[in-house]
Amino acid sequence: MLVAPSSLSTLLASRRRLLTGGGQALLSATAVALLAGISAKADSSTQTADQMKSDVDTLNTMLSIEYEGIAAYQVGAKSGLLQPAVLKLAVGFQSDHKQHAEMLAKAISQLGGTPVQPKTMAEYAFPTANLKTQTDVLRFAADLEQGAASAYKGTVPVFNSRDLSAVAASILGSETMHWAILRRALGEAPPTVAFVA
């Protein structure tokens, strides 16, 4: 069962309130410090070359995930299957992924790495032939967001830099929120667990 457009408007408003709350402050403060070079310079003086390369590799993995999300939401937006309120939600989530990608690419460059480039749409091999209804598109997006959240969860403890771990954790929160909202739009209960394994 899909959520009615008026309910989606409520979800969008709730999402905006969440994004303008305390969670955004953590990402913004960390991202600003990282992008200003403060964290990168501080970490580079205490990290070995191998540790910095490892962090750059992990950041590039995260950047690849963001590019996939941007492309996936583009497929959904251009499908012609989304009602206006759902399309607005999809474009909003795509914007979040674009902001993540921009920040990650800058961090990679500041650490002396080369950001990966997005694949072509054909290389993503999205199951576009299976996207026949709005529900199909929402399911596709929800599955990708769940995968992204899982991937980010795995990156948090991998970083040698605590600042980069904080950025990954903040983006993890965003991906998880996307997943929960998409589940709600599909008429499914959001995941409710005290701890995620």
Residue that wins the pLDDT comparison between 194 and 93: 93
Would you say the pTM of this structure is higher than 0.85? no
Q: What whole-number distance in Å separates Cα of residue 125 and Cα of residue 82?
A: 21
pLDDT confidence of residue 131: 97
The 10s digit of each residue's pLDDT in 22-42 is 334 344 444 545 544 545 444
Domain boundaries, the chain: 5-185
Mean per-residue pLDDT, 46-69 = 93
Query: Residue 32's closest CA among 94, 106, 96?
Result: 106
pLDDT confidence of residue 36: 46
Please give the share of the chain, as a percent, with pLDDT higher than 90. 71
Helix (H) or strand (E) holding 17: helix 5-19
Q: Across all residues in the chain, what is the average pLDDT?
A: 82
Mean per-residue pLDDT, 1-21 = 43
Q: Is the pLDDT of residue 158 over 60?
A: yes
Q: Which two tokens mark 8?
A: 């989606």
Helix (H) or strand (E) holding 69: helix 49-78
Q: What whole-number distance in Å separates Cα of residue 157 and Cα of residue 7?
A: 37
Mean per-residue pLDDT, 45-60 = 89
Q: Is the pLDDT of residue 127 over 50?
A: yes
pLDDT confidence of residue 47: 78
Residue with token string 């072509």: 120
122 falls in which pLDDT band (50, 70, 90)? very high
5 falls in which pLDDT band (50, 70, 90)? very low
pLDDT confidence of residue 192: 72
Q: Which residues are CB-contacts of 2 (< 8 A; sequence separation ≥ 6)?
A: 134, 135, 138, 185, 186, 187
pLDDT confidence of residue 9: 45
Mean per-residue pLDDT, 122-136 = 96
Q: Does domain 5-185 have CATH number 1.20.1260.10?
A: yes
